[in-house]
Each structure stands twice: as C-alpha cells, then as structure tokens.
Structure 1
Amino acid sequence: MRTREGLVAIAMAGALVNGCSADVEPEAEPTPSAFSSTATGDESPGAPSDDATDEPDDPREETEPTKPVSVLGLAAETHRGDRLRLGAVRERTAAYTSYDVAYRSRSTTRAGAGPEEGYTISGVLNVPTGRGPFPAVVLAHGYIDPAYYVRGQGMTRERGYLAARGYIALHVDYRNHAESTDDPAYQRRMRLGYTADVINAVNALRASRDVPVDDDRVALFGRSMGGGVILKALVAAPGLVQAAAPWASVSSLEAENYRRFMRDPEDVGVRGELERRWGTPAQNPRHWRQNSSRPYLDRITEPVLMVHGRFDDSCPPEWATATFRALRENGVDAQLQWYDDGHAFGPAFNAAMDRTVRFFDRQL
C-alpha cells in the first residue's frame, strides 16, 4: 500500500438544463427514507430502451479508426493530473478541514501527435482530521450553468458526509467552471474534457505530497450529469480506481440525452453548433454511439453501485434500469439501489449516503 506523507454538448452525461441537475442542497439535513430495495432485473420501476439504432451489436467491429472526439479516443490519451495546491481554508470542523484547491489537468495522445492540452481545474477538498492515510472519493457534480456555477457547488452535502466518515473528498469543478481554465471547444468536443478532468483529479491526488491519500483506496462518485461523467471515466481508464457510485445518472446512451435535454429553447445555440458539427443522432448515429459509455461497458473493471429515485422526473428510472442491465450483461459487478425520492434526493438522502458509504467501505 502506497501512502502520501503530507496532505459540443451533452456527452459528459448530457444534461443541458437545470432539470437534470441534482444540485439542490437543502439547508436542513434530510431524514432517511423508510423504504429502499435493491433492483435485480424485474424489480426495477422501468424497462430498458429498445432504440436499436443507438446501440449496435458491437461497434468495435467497425473498421473506421477511433475518432479523437469519442470515448475510446479519450481512452487512447495519456492523462497526467498533478500540481494539486491547497488554498484558503473554507471550513474547519472537529471531523475535517475544507480547502479551496486547484490542480493541473493534462492530456495528450499516446502517439505524441498533436499538442498537449493543459488546464487548471479548481475545486474543493475535504480532509478528515488525523494523520491518515485516508481513502479518497473524487466527486463529479451534475449540470449547473457554468455562467452561474460557483466553486464546489452541487455536492456540498455529499462532500461533508464523506469527510465526516473518514474519506478525503475532492469536488471537481470541471473546465469552464468557477476558477478553472476555459476550453473554447468543450461543447463541440462533447464535454469529454469533464471526464478527463475527473481522471486527472485522481492522478493529482495520488501525486500530491500534501494530502494523506491511501493510493490504493480511491473511488468515483457522480450525480446526474456527473454519473455519466464517471461511467465514461471507468470506460476510458479501467483500473484507475477501486469503485464507483453513479447517482441519478443520465443515460449511458448520448442519443437519449440529446432527445430529452436538447429540446429546450434555451439550448438552441448549443444544439445548432452540435448539429452543424456532428449531425443529429438520426443523421450520424455512429458519432453519438462512440460518445456513449454503454457500447463499451465491458471495459469496466470496478464494482459499481447505482442509486436512483423511483420518482426521478429529470433522469427517468428506465435509464437506470437499462444501464444496470447493460453493466451486468457485460460482466460488471453492478448493483442498483432504488429509493422513494426524486432527482435531487431530499428525504432519502441520508439513507442513500449510508448505503453508498457502506459500499465504499467494502470495496476500499
């Protein structure tokens, strides 16, 4: 066990409207749900989509070389996250200290073709009180308009909950958010940069001499859009972490995300840019498949706990059912936990977090 001495579009999961952001943070602590069950096939409240045009039998049988803008294109890159810097103290409790942080997110093609892309990514880091080393969880937040997003927004409850239970929790702002560097092409690159930033956050944590991380005990945790972000991270970088928990996740098929979230009139500019560059899913189904995680779920090597609300009206329960079944069909050690709650998780938040922490405790 290695330890540290000191401390474009919808692709990253797709939601371009506030409706698929699980970023409501109530002022009062929610109470646990009285009911939950683990779905195993027919126990789930929805059924998988039968959209055959979005999911070929095996897209890797296609002979066309991997496109740079694709999930496998992301997998072909080398990701070098480093230079994690601790900034101002945001909060200090008996259980943990919270810091503003920034790190460098670097990605380059393995063949060395093309320039290396490097971005400074801001975030918030909660570190438990004590010497460590501690297990760590990297958090990927849901969609919030970057124009209004502020550092650490979206998973404040989760970050504090994890740190109070002995986990280092690193909340990633993503490029184009808060104090992070802007990437002018992030939309037309299908927001794959968000996944690169999460992968590099894991690498930056492990490279840090200032954060007491147990390098062999790291997990990913994403909600809503962030659930799609971490599924793509698992596909692009198998073996990077030891476990993952997507909450209230968007679809693992980007065509479904497009159809649900790109109809809003406010998104006409982004929709037009995407359609001019890539076409619609009906016009260019291969592109939208190649930027989905579902065709490549067999690359995932880590156990996955999915958490979803039965009354989620932003990311439909049938999406969770379909992704869960696809994970299991591809040999992934996957579980799906249902709660009587909506997209943002209010009454069931504590129960769902207790379940997630138990999962991390077992896997890490």
Structure 2
Amino acid sequence: MTRPRPLALALLGALTLASPAGAQSAAALARVDAAQMSIPAARQKSYPGSPLTVRQTLAPGVNYRRWVVSYLSDGLRIHALLTVPNGTPPRGGWPAIVFNHGYIPPDVYRTTERYVAYQDAFARAGFVTLKSDYRGHGSSQGEALGGYFAPGYTTDVMNALGSLKRDPRVNARRIGMWGHSMGGFLTLRAMVIDPSIRAGVIWAGVVGDYGTILNDWNNVPPASIPRRVLELRQKAVAKYGTPGSNPAFWRGLSANAYLNDLGGPLQLHIGTADGDVPVLFHERLVGQMRAAGQPVQSYVYPGDNHDLTRNLGTALARSVAFFKARL
C-alpha cells in the first residue's frame, strides 16, 4: 500500500498548489475568514449534495463495484471514489461510510491512489463507501485552501454526506464517517454539525481544539506551501487574537466544544510513534468525550506510526466491527 504523505503542514491547514485550479488565487484567499469555521455558522448552511454522477467505471473489488463519481458542493463539481456492495441491498438500503482521507499534496493527489487498502476493508464488509477528492484535489473543481482555517473541505464532506443520504442504494439512517489525520478533523466537525451521523472512527486524527492546534503542535510546514496560504493562520490570529486572549471565538470554531451534540459514539486510534500528530490530541479528546458522557473507544498502539503500519490489520478489523455494531 502506498503510504499517505505525512501531515507535516497540517498545523497551518495549508496545501500545495491544486492542479485544476492552479495557484491559490488572491481573490479566493481574500474571501477566507476564520469565523467561517465556527460550528454555529456551519450549522446554518445547507448541504444537499446532489445525485452521484458516474464519471468512470473502475475494475470491481472482490465483492463490490467501484466508480469515480461526482457530486456538487458550493456549486463545484467534486469527484469521489464510490463503492457499492454486490447483491440485493437490505431493506432500507446499504449502510454507508463517508471516507475522509488525510493530507496528500493536491498536485499529486489521484482518486484511485492512496488509502486503497483502507477503503477496501470497509467495502468488503458490506458498506457503501464514498471517498471525496476535496476541492482542488485531482479533478475536483475549486481551490485547495486547507482544512483548518478555510471551510471548503468541511463543506465538501458535508455535501458528500448529503449526496449519500439522497442515494436510493443507501440507508440514510445508517451512515457513519471514517477519517485519517486531517480527515479526522473533518470527521469530528461533521459529526457535531450533523448528529444524524451514527458513528465515527478516527485514526491519528487532528482532533485537538484550536488552542491545542495553535499552541501544542510543533510540526514544521514544508517549504513547498505557498506563503499566502500559510498566512491564513496569521491572518486569523491578527484579526481575532489568540485562543488565550479571545477564548470564546476559538471555542466556537472547535468541534471539541460541541461534543454533547454528537449523535453517535467515536472510536479513536493512534500510534505512540506518530511523527505527524501528537498523541496528546487523542488523549485530550478521549478525556473530553468521557467528561461529556459520550461513548468512546480508545486504542493506542505502542511504537506505531501515523498510518498504523504495524497494526494495520488489527485497526481495520476493530474499525469494521465498530461500524457493523453501530450502523
């Protein structure tokens, strides 16, 4: 399996140049405001998605079919990898999982590469899965402005959820989310925005609140990231202050502050040798979930890395069993 690119840039939520959109435009960056990341603001938006349109039929899996599809998000055409089990669906439709990938440089991202073994495990187990190519990735329209200080990726994930809900093959009451790294950040946000999401699994997730992200994450972003994108963080702090000086603002942006609104349990995985995301993120979220009286399963793998390479089979089996029990 091809290893996903490390999330070293994730502290700033910035991404490299997106091939369909070219360089991040000054106009797009000027429209970004950190306040757009607030959970209350996200809840005010509508995420209808659209019918899934087949763009390419792929070779089938062992017991499922695969397509590159597209759906609409903010008027943009977003591409995604869809899997559907063979056979007759159960009454009400198949259970489904929105699959949120971690950071991969948008200019090298391809729909059918990376995360193949991960998605295959859930597809084999009888779930419909939909892995979005966030805006500016692969053939998706739009600009890749990162996930932490710009709302686009969250919107794309929410519209993926909306698209699955309206698909006749899917049971809209049996949908969960899986996320890795930055995808874990998006998963937690989506689950507090829409409590209809029944369960979530997060591997090596960027699941700290904004105080933790800004103060306790020491990753150094690579030199390839455009300065103007890196400056989204500085722009936010300059306008709204730090989490220490303006805690109410940053709390409103943090999914961790809304855990009481979750509609289902979480299962969390991380390795102690993760060089990209601190174990501290995992530990604090586990504590916050328990303080909120929310069900959470925690798995910490001694000596394992960001992709849980040493324990991949075990982590996948636990994740599949979790979704089977709760969807």
- TM beyond 0.5: yes
CA distance in 2, matches of 1:70, 1:167: 31
Q: Measured at CA, do residues 339 and 69 of structure 1 come closer, stay the same or move farther in structure 2, by a change above 3 Å?
A: closer
- For 1:362, the equivalent position in structure 2 comes to 325
Paired amino acid for 2:53: R
Larger relative contact order, structure 1 or 2 (CA cutoff 8 Å, min sep 6): 1
- Return 224-233 or 286-295, whichever deviates more: 286-295
- For 2:132, the equivalent position in structure 1 comes to 172
Picking from 28, 49, 56, the partner of 1:81 is 49
Contact 1:17 1:264 in 2 (8 A): no
- For 1:203, the equivalent position in structure 2 comes to 162
Q: Secondary structure at the match of 1:81?
A: coil
Post-superposition offset of 1:250: 1.1
- For 1:236, the equivalent position in structure 2 comes to 193
CA distance in 2, matches of 1:261, 1:73: 29
Q: Give yes or no for the alignment of 1:124 onto 2:103.
A: no
Post-superposition offset of 1:189: 7.9
CA distance in 2, matches of 1:173, 1:157: 17
1:259-284 deviation digits (Å, cap 9, x = unpaired) = 53664362443232431354263665
Contact 1:175 1:182 in 2 (8 A): yes
Q: Give yes or no for the alignment of 1:139 onto 2:99.
A: yes
Contact 2:146 2:153 in 1 (8 A): no
Picking from 163, 183, 195, the partner of 1:226 is 183
**Residues 246-325 of structure 1: matches in 2 within 5 Å?**
246-259=202-215, 260=217, 263-264=220-221, 266=223, 267=225, 268-279=227-238, 281=242, 285-325=247-287
1:86-143 deviation digits (Å, cap 9, x = unpaired) = 23122213311111010112xxxxxxxxxxx322111101111112132111100101
Contact 2:9 2:221 in 1 (8 A): no
Paired amino acid for 2:179: G
TM-score by length of 2: 0.81
1:243-300 deviation digits (Å, cap 9, x = unpaired) = 1111110132124334536643624432324313542636655443332211222221
Post-superposition offset of 1:17: 7.8
CA distance in 1, matches of 2:286, 2:50: 33
The structure whose residues are more often helix, as a share, is 2
Q: Measured at CA, do residues 13 and 206 of structure 1 come closer, stay the same or move farther in structure 2, by a change above 3 Å?
A: farther
CA distance in 2, matches of 1:198, 1:326: 24
CA distance in 2, matches of 1:225, 1:104: 21
Post-superposition offset of 1:152: 4.3
Q: Measured at CA, do residues 15 and 349 of structure 1 come closer, stay the same or move farther in structure 2, by a change above 3 Å?
A: farther
Q: Measured at CA, do residues 187 and 278 of structure 1 come closer, stay the same or move farther in structure 2, by a change above 3 Å?
A: farther
Paired amino acid for 1:358: A
Post-superposition offset of 1:11: 12
**Residues 306-345 of structure 1: matches in 2 within 5 Å?**
306-340=268-302, 341-345=304-308
Picking from 85, 89, 93, the partner of 2:61 is 93
**5+ long unaligned stretches in structure 1:** 1-9, 19-65, 106-116
Q: Give yes or no for the alignment of 1:192 onto 2:155.
A: no
Contact 1:242 1:303 in 2 (8 A): yes
Contact 1:138 1:220 in 2 (8 A): yes
How many residue pairs are counted as aligned between the two chains?
293
Q: Secondary structure at the match of 2:309?
A: coil
CA distance in 2, matches of 1:181, 1:207: 22
Q: Secondary structure at the match of 2:191?
A: helix
1:190-228 deviation digits (Å, cap 9, x = unpaired) = 23221221121121112124xx21222111000000001
- For 1:155, the equivalent position in structure 2 comes to 115
Query: Cα RMSD over matched residues?
Result: 2.7
CA distance in 1, matches of 2:191, 2:323: 16
